[in-house]
Amino acid sequence: MEIRTDFNDRMSKLNNEIVKMGVLVEEALDKAMDSLINMDLDIARKVIDEDQKINDFEISIEDRCIVLIAREQPVAGDLRRIITALKISTQFERMGDHAVHIAKGVIRLDKDPKPSPLFGMPLMAQKAKSMLRRVLTAYIDRNAEEAMSVSQVDHEIDSLHDEVINDVFNELMITVSDHHKAITLLFINRFLERFGDHITNICEWIIYSVTGEHKELG
């Protein structure tokens, strides 16, 4: 006979919430990039408005975790799983904020009639999205090796981030002196780079959840 079924059900619900929140973050990143590539302000505003849903998920996940800790006094793997869910929800919330920052950047860029070059940023977003999908699967499967492997992609995003800085500097600041646009693009570049960092943090927490060991991957 399986025991602690109620606790196991509550843990499954917690995991479902994490996955749902992750999917919302992925959509926010998608839409933010869509608004950037197509200079679509309606989509940009949608990203800003819909961030509240992501924030609500964070609070709901926190509440679930607090109730589980208070009522079930979890230890060992159960405790590590709950703490990991709590930590992941914080990372997701920050990623949602970064999507909002990108969307706000799009609104600022729109004031300039000339189209903006995006350099390696769409590719950075693609890589971040792929990391996000893989990290959600690693979380559900409790796969520490996959989490480790996902975190390696962050180096590629970091390299692209550095390349974009050079491109913006060379093509916008030196050549045409469009400092306003350059600064906005550098901010967007920075927010995309942060996506990779947050996913790497999630990878570290998945490894902790599975093994009980803290591993610095950044």
Q: Which two tokens stand for residue 160?
A: 């692209």
Return the number of the residue (77 or 218) whose C-beta is nearest other proteins: 77
Write down the least CB distance from residue 199 to other proteins, Å. Answer: 24
Residue type, 17: E
Closest CA to 114 of 175, 165, 192, 155: 175
Give CA–CA dist 204/103, Å, rounded: 28
Question: Is residue 5 involved in binding other proteins (CB under 8 A)?
Answer: no
Least Å from the CB of residue 65 to other proteins: 16
Mark 71-110 with x for binding to other proteins (rule: CB under 8 A) and - for no binding: --xxxxxxxx------------------------------
Query: Do the Cβ atoms of 158 and 51 come closer than 8 Å?
Result: no
Q: How far apart are CA 35 and CA 45, in angstroms?
A: 9
Q: Tell the smallest beta-carbon distance from residue 77 to other proteins (Å).
A: 6
Return d(Cα 168, Cα 119) in angstroms, integer: 8
**Residue 92 C-beta: closest distance to other proteins, Å:** 24
Query: Is 70 a residue that touches other proteins (CB under 8 A)?
Result: no
Q: Write out the residues near other proteins by the rule CB under 8 A.
A: 3-4, 7, 73-80, 211-213
